[in-house]
Structure 1
Amino acid sequence: MSINDVARHAGVSTASVSRTINSPDIVRPELRTRVEAAIRDLGYIPSGAARALASSQTRAVGAIVPTLDNAIFASGISSLQRRLAQMGYTLLVAASEYDLDQEVREAHALLCHGVEGVMLVGEAHAPALYNLLERYQLPFVNCWTYRASSDHPCIGFDNEGAARRLTEYLIDLGHRDIAMIAGVSQSNDRAQARIHGVRAALAAIGSELAEQRFVEQPYGVADGRNGMSELLNRCAQPPTAVICGNDVLAIGAIFECQSRGLEVPAAISITGFDDLSISAHLQPGLTTVKVPSSEMGAKAADFLVKRINGETTLLHTEIETTLIVRGTTKSAVNRVVTT
């Protein structure tokens, strides 16, 4: 594929394509948009970056995460970078903001910088992304997810299974009126899997996650407060327990309960997911699922470098999560509700 192909696809001259690539600021916005769309559609990589990619001389690896605001991703990226540095590689990082189309654009940009491999988060990616990686035979690995039958390499954990075990723990404490503040599930297979895990555990005892006991929120402390407020406003009687899609949502949910005079866990039990470092230092400490982000980052680095060097590697690696029980959960028997 050449610059001529891009020019034909966009209906412009090769000079216009060249200016868009090398000096985009001097190109009319309408023209630049057409050329950039053609580059994305064709998966075109400028010749210099393509030569570097083909010769594997950049010693650079890319990583695309959903967001840089979540400390759990920062931990994994930090571990990935440390391990890559030990092997003489540089890490380039991009964020997709949970937008699958943006993820494709970020992957294309990383390819243009000549990365030799890419770490991704989750398994649900746009077909265009997988096609792009396959076209350039770029080694990649999906992290924060594990499925033994996946068509793609993965290093991670069973999100659905972890959420199910967390729910079963609450059920064993006598909780039946369980609610959930989930992360936004659109374009997020990890959030979807955790929701399925909660529903599956409740279905196993003949119960369900009722519509009025379920909300989705973005991943932020304020969002956790909003989610808890919405749950509490829907019914006169609060749920006995609330499962949150991550620790940040759980922290917000705890703050909202405290502002309403609902003691955690005497009035309501709350759980998180991730085990951020702050979660052990809350009062009370947060019951949560420990996600092995650092281990995933290091293993992803080893996997990518081996694939770059043509070595054989396991395609699917499962890392176990751990239920961490702290002070935000207790038995549902004789709970005290104060307002």
Structure 2
Amino acid sequence: MAGKATQAETLAKRVSIADVAKLAGCAPATVSRRLNNPEIVSPSVVESIDHAIQALGYVRNGSARQLRSSRSHLVGAIIPTIRHSIYAEMLAGLQQSLERNGFALIYSTSEYDLDEEYKQALTLVERGIEALVLVGTRHRSKTFDLLNTHNVSCAVTYALQKDFNYTSIGFDNYRAAALAAQRLWALGHRTFGMIAGITTNNDRAQARVAGFTDTLLGLGATRDDVIIREAPYQIGAGRQMMASLLVAAPQISAVFCGSDVLAIGAMSELRSQGISVPDRCSIIGFDNLEIAAYVDPPLSTLNVPAYEMGVETGEWVVRSEPGKVIPRKVELDVEYVERGTTAKAPPR
């Protein structure tokens, strides 16, 4: 698994222009021209050199040299998306914590694509970052290799994992989802739906599905009582999956959503079909985004301490020395927030 590799296993010699040239089948001077004046290099040669750079994980020496000699006080963060403010509070806490201590933050997005995340990490390392903040524990092994090779500290957020070789500052997604299952069961619901985020390459979404379903099965539900749908974190997708749940199980009376964004979409679909929330169907979201308190009815949800997570991560960066970091695990609490979208199950 990507996070299992040790620094001893992944620490490799720094890749030089000569290494890139050898793999690309050209002269080192040609590689240099590709990097500095690409317009004078033929497209086919550019393609060969770019392929070699990607394969070898080459990073331009200027930033790496700066990073080796002193702290750059430049921190990178790669988040899955900037849509719907899902990660905005974490970034705000991170930036404010870093800024107070004289550090600057550069962030980019991967759109949940681990290969794109690696490309973004490579760019940030070239810019001279001394630490990189990621979301979740699932990443390409070459991303960790890159960071280890260039002595870039790494912390992951929004998740925790046993035997993980990097600092993790987050919460237990499995246990958080279990809170939603326990609450809906206690209200008397016995037919459930879940609209999860896309679980491919997303350890957080996977853990939430497992926590919700395992808890319900432990309480006495059967697998037929729990219907799962996956959707990207978009309001329209939440609406579509709510419609799909109602086709599969018209009697469904409780739905847990892997984000408030999906929950708002689900509420919209229920309203369009004349199904009352919460009298006929209860909804629980996840994140406690600001908008959750202002929809009608206000959304019951799970409060993720995103701002605090960002602050804690920023403080860890400030205290850490690049290349000499002992991994830490910092667990934050997720709390259930009851509002207006949950009620006792309707009579069956």
**TM-score of Structure 1 vs Structure 2, range by shorter chain:** over 0.9
Give, in angstroms, the shift of residue 147 of structure 1. Answer: 2.6
Give yes or no for contact 2:191–2:225 (8 Å, CA) kept in 1: no
Report SS of the residue matched to 2:287. Answer: coil
- The one-character-per-residue Cα deviations of 1:295-332 (angstroms, maximum 9, x if unpaired) are 11111111112113688766100000110011101011
Give yes or no for contact 1:245–1:273 (8 Å, CA) kept in 2: yes
| Structure 2 residue 179 is the aligned partner of structure 1 residue 165 | yes
Give yes or no for contact 2:159–2:173 (8 Å, CA) kept in 1: yes
Find the partner of 1:278 among 287, 291, 301. 291
| Structure 2 residue 51 is the aligned partner of structure 1 residue 37 | yes
TM-score w.r.t. the length of structure 2 is 0.91
Give yes or no for contact 1:117–1:308 (8 Å, CA) kept in 2: no
- One-letter amino acid of the structure 2 residue matched with residue 263 of structure 1: S
Give, in angstroms, the shift of residue 178 of structure 1. Answer: 0.6
Cross-structure match for 1:327? 340
Cross-structure match for 2:274? 261
Q: Which moved more, 1:255-264 or 1:34-43?
A: 34-43
- The one-character-per-residue Cα deviations of 1:107-134 (angstroms, maximum 9, x if unpaired) are 1100000001000000011111111111
Write out aligned runs for 1:193-232 (5 A). Answer: 193-210=207-224, 213-232=227-246
- The one-character-per-residue Cα deviations of 1:85-140 (angstroms, maximum 9, x if unpaired) are 11111101111110111111111100000001000000011111111111122111
| Structure 2 residue 126 is the aligned partner of structure 1 residue 116 | no
| Structure 2 residue 332 is the aligned partner of structure 1 residue 300 | no
Quick one: percent identity of the two aligned structures? 40
Give yes or no for contact 1:178–1:240 (8 Å, CA) kept in 2: yes
- One-letter amino acid of the structure 2 residue matched with residue 291 of structure 1: V
TM-score w.r.t. the length of structure 1 is 0.94
Give, in angstroms, the shift of residue 209 of structure 1. Answer: 4.5
Cross-structure match for 1:315? 328
Give yes or no for contact 1:231–1:238 (8 Å, CA) kept in 2: no
Decide whether aligned partners of structure 1 residues 25 and 262 sit closer, same or farther in structure 2, where only a CA change above 3 A counts. farther
Gap regions ≥5 residues in structure 2: 1-14
- One-letter amino acid of the structure 2 residue matched with residue 160 of structure 1: Y
Gap regions ≥5 residues in structure 1: none
Give, in angstroms, the shift of residue 208 of structure 1. Answer: 3.7
Distance in 2 between the 1:249 and 1:191 partners?
13
| Structure 2 residue 202 is the aligned partner of structure 1 residue 188 | yes
Report SS of the residue matched to 1:257. Answer: helix
Cross-structure match for 1:153? 167
Cross-structure match for 1:60? 74
Distance in 2 between the 1:223 and 1:7 partners?
46
Cross-structure match for 1:174? 188
Cross-structure match for 1:143? 157
Report SS of the residue matched to 2:78. Answer: strand
Give yes or no for contact 2:171–2:332 (8 Å, CA) kept in 1: yes
Distance in 2 between the 1:95 and 1:54 partners?
26
Q: Which moved more, 1:45-54 or 1:16-25?
A: 16-25
Distance in 1 between the 2:323 and 2:111 partners?
32
Cross-structure match for 2:10? none
Q: Which moved more, 1:111-120 or 1:23-32?
A: 23-32
